[in-house]
Structure 1
Amino acid sequence: MSTTAATAAEQVPSGRTEADPARSARGEPLAHIDGVPVYGWGQAPPYLRTKTQLTADRLKATAQQEQAPLAYIRTHEYGDVPLHDPAAAEKMRPLSSSAKARMAARRTCPECGTVGQVILRGPCAVCRERAERARQRVRARTCADCSAVRERPYPTEHGRCRRCRQVQLARKRARVEGWLAEVTVCAGDGCTRRRGSKKAARAWLAERPWLLRPERPDLPDALWWPDWARRCPPCQRAYDDAQERHQAELQARYERQEKERRATEERAAEERCRWAAAALVDPDVLVLDTETTGLDDNARIIELAVLDARGTVLLDTLLDPGVPVPDDAAELHGITTKLLTGAPTFSEVLVQLTGLLDGKRCLIYNASYDVGRLRHELTLHYLNRAEREAAEEPVRTGMVPHDVREQAVVAAHGRADAWLACMQFEDVMIPYSDWVGDWSEYHGNNRWQPLNGGHRAAGDCRAVLDCLRAMGRAYAGEYATAAAGAGGTKEGTI
């Protein structure tokens, strides 16, 4: 609809000198939607109606009005609401008697039959209140213990029949008498001296009636007892002496446990240092480190280095993983995909690696990660062979396997685990972190220390040797002398 058509209703007829206030807008439009003005709240022509207002007046907007509203009113909750001319709306068809009956049935109380103004989901408020009063009257006539119902209500202070009330009072008297006997007689073992009067205890208890409520199985402990002493002087002295002995025993036990703990920690610290010093002079010790394409479970090894305890490089090579190196990993260690062009694969250096590690102690900083990367590479290496064997199985046996890929993966995992089981890996990160002793309250153990080897495999291996030298410095001479006396050399000593 054009703006001219939308404002045609606001034009003044030829026989009048001013516009009709009921059909004139009370303010300027805020905007236009397809040429139709949008008014603020209370600024639209008063005669226009929303669909909800038309429905309340038993009117229904025509299809033409739905497609072309005369104006909009802008609201915060519903946005721009269209306005229609009620004169052009159609009268709604009156409801049938059956529809009226169904609507009235939804508003009828099933108890009293009263027809309300809103839909009911159960009895009306009057019937619910009446039923609640009836339940309260029945509850007042029901014994709290035996649930016996009589015509008259039971006393409100206890809500019980005579027999149950007598039982309740007997229990109360027994509780009070037991409590009186306990607080007025010395609490010492085997002592029967009187420590107070029952009259005073009853007076103290009378001031605290809430302590005798039926739901309390027993009277409260000593925190609620009167202020007089619970024991006679001899029993109190014996009790104090026993408490002092008990505290002394607890203190002695604590000191003994602390001494044992410190001794255990000192032995563990000495064993860590001796382990590091012995590793530096052991000819069977190697240090291994890897650089990978990331930290996820599918990360590939792109650099591998193996050094002996003297720092001699036995293996230091880049590896082509067959996949591009992510930018974030390349920024960390400086190894890009271009540098790996022409590098050997892991399968090509596996024979050399196996010969180096066979029968040796392999030390790794954060061994769990590097061993996991080795397992992944070994699985991929053995997977090709396993796939070929699984594909050749139908030729040998004449039977087609159910799932060649699944069988190949299982076989490759088994061979990778068998290869790792033949090696001896030892972690350096945990002993070194315990030696540094940077305790973390959040993790409940010593913080892992960074290696600071430059994020290259050979450099990290040399950093591991530096960690071992720092840990074993106190025992370096002892183990170097022992190695020299056993026919070794003093090369690589600290």
Structure 2
Amino acid sequence: MQPPDPPIPQHHLFTHTVDTAPVYFVRPSDTEQPTWVAYEEARYLGTVHGQFDVGGRWHVQSLNECHHSLDDAVRALRRPVRWATDRELVRRWARGILSDPNLLVLDIQTTGLGTAWAVQIGATDRDGNVLFDELVNPLAAITPEATALHGLEQNRLASAPTFSTLLPDLAHLLANRSCLAYNADFDRAVLEREIQRLSPPARATRMTLYPRRWADAMAPYAVWRGLWSVRRGSYRYQPLGSTYDAVNNCRRLLTSMEHMR
């Protein structure tokens, strides 16, 4: 759960640091409304309004956007001038991905947040139809942090099939597919880790397990949202608002892809 947003300031002048860089806010002298002009050093960023009735807490006047935090409003104002071009490239990328009739959308839930094993694998086609939806016995402990997210506990998974049991069906599903994921490197690492602990005969399946190509929506989605981090010098990572159910996550990703294209 994210902490609640701080209350809208009442000061006429205040400084707020976003991604290690201070921003200075000045309320115009002719208003008592929650409106401030934002500056970064001597550079004018724009005007923001604190309000509650237009779908967001902070309205960015020049962009006609609303954001739930002042930090994100500032990140929107810091967008580089090339953002329109970057966003157009993302639109074309998303259109190309969704035009592939062999597209498979994949999500894997795991025993932990780092180096971990699969506990649920879900996949859909490009229309959101379920192609694969299986719980997995990880043969390993599940961290409390992971259970708090996806709700899966060891006793529920004790009777679920192991990865080796699911491997033939999964390999058949992935063969010659284009595979779309959110943070694809993580999902690929889980598959690789699962194969590495199989017996040598089963490892021979590893080459057939991999799809024709991988596509990762994480960086394109960050560009599409356009919240710039001066600390990273790049567009800031954006969560999809995951439900931590594999199939639901696939469908949520498809919805975001439709918005991007």
Residue among 210, 213, 226 paired with 1:437: 226
Tell me, in whole angstroms, the C-alpha distance in 1 between the residues paired with 2:105 and 2:205: 24
Work out whether 1:269 is the aligned partner of 2:87: yes
Residue in 2 that maps onto 1:304: 121
Q: Which residue of 1 aligns with 2:169?
A: 352
Displacement, 1:334? 0.3
Contact conserved, 1:283 with 1:309, CA < 8 A, in 2? yes
Give TM-score scaled by structure 2 length: 0.64
* 1:282 shift after superposition: 2.6
Deviations 1:403-460 (A, max 9, x none): xxxxxxxxx6x974x4566531110011011111111111111111112121111111
Match for residue 200 of structure 2?
385
> How many angstroms does 1:359 deviate by?
1.1
Match of 2:105 among 278, 287, 308: 287
Letter in 2 for 1:279: I
Separation in 1 of the partners of 2:205 and 2:175? 16
Say which of 123, 127, 133 aligns to 1:316: 133
- The 8 Å contact of residues 439 and 445 in structure 1, kept in 2 or not, is answered as yes
* Runs of 4+ with >2 A deviation: 264-269, 277-282, 418-423
Counterpart of 2:248?
A: 459
* Aligned CA distance change for structure 1 residues 286 and 415 (closer, same or farther; 3 Å): closer
What is the rounded CA distance, in whole Å, between the counterparts of 1:333 and 1:316 in structure 2? 14
Structure 1, unmatched stretches of 5+, are 1-260, 389-411, 473-494
| Equivalent of 1:424 in 191, 213, 229 | 213
- Cα deviation for residue 280 of structure 1 reads 2.9
Q: Secondary structure at the match of 1:339?
A: helix
Q: Say whether the 8 Å CA contact 2:106–2:123 is kept in structure 1.
A: yes
Matches within 5 A, 1:396-415: none
Between the aligned partners of 1:427 and 1:461, the Cα distance in structure 2 is: 12
Show the counterpart of 1:470: 259
Amino acid at match of 1:448: Y
Opposite residue 235 of structure 2, the aligned amino acid is N
8 A contact 1:294–1:300 mirrored in 2: yes
1:415–1:356 CA distance, 2 compared to 1 (3 A): closer
Task: Note the alpha carbon deviations across 1:318-345, whole angstroms, 9 max, x for none.
Answer: 0001123222211111001111121111
Which residue of 332, 353, 356 corresponds with 2:149? Answer: 332
Q: How many residue pairs are counted as aligned between the two chains? A: 182
In structure 2, relative to structure 1, the CA distance for the partners of 1:313 and 1:421 (3 Å cut) is closer
Structure with the largest fraction of strand: 2
Q: Is the 8 A contact 2:174 2:211 kept in 1?
A: no
- CA distance in 2: counterparts of 1:447 and 1:385, whole angstroms: 41
Instruction: Say if 1:364 and 1:426, in contact at 8 Å, map to a contact too.
Output: yes
Note the C-alpha offset of 1:364: 0.4
Tell me the secondary structure at the aligned position of residue 155 of structure 2. coil
Specify whether residues 326 and 431 from structure 1 end up closer, same or farther in structure 2 by C-alpha distance, changes over 3 A only.
same
Amino acid at match of 1:326: T
5+ residue gaps, structure 2, are 1-79
Residues 175 and 210, structure 2, Cα contact 8 Å, conserved in 1: no
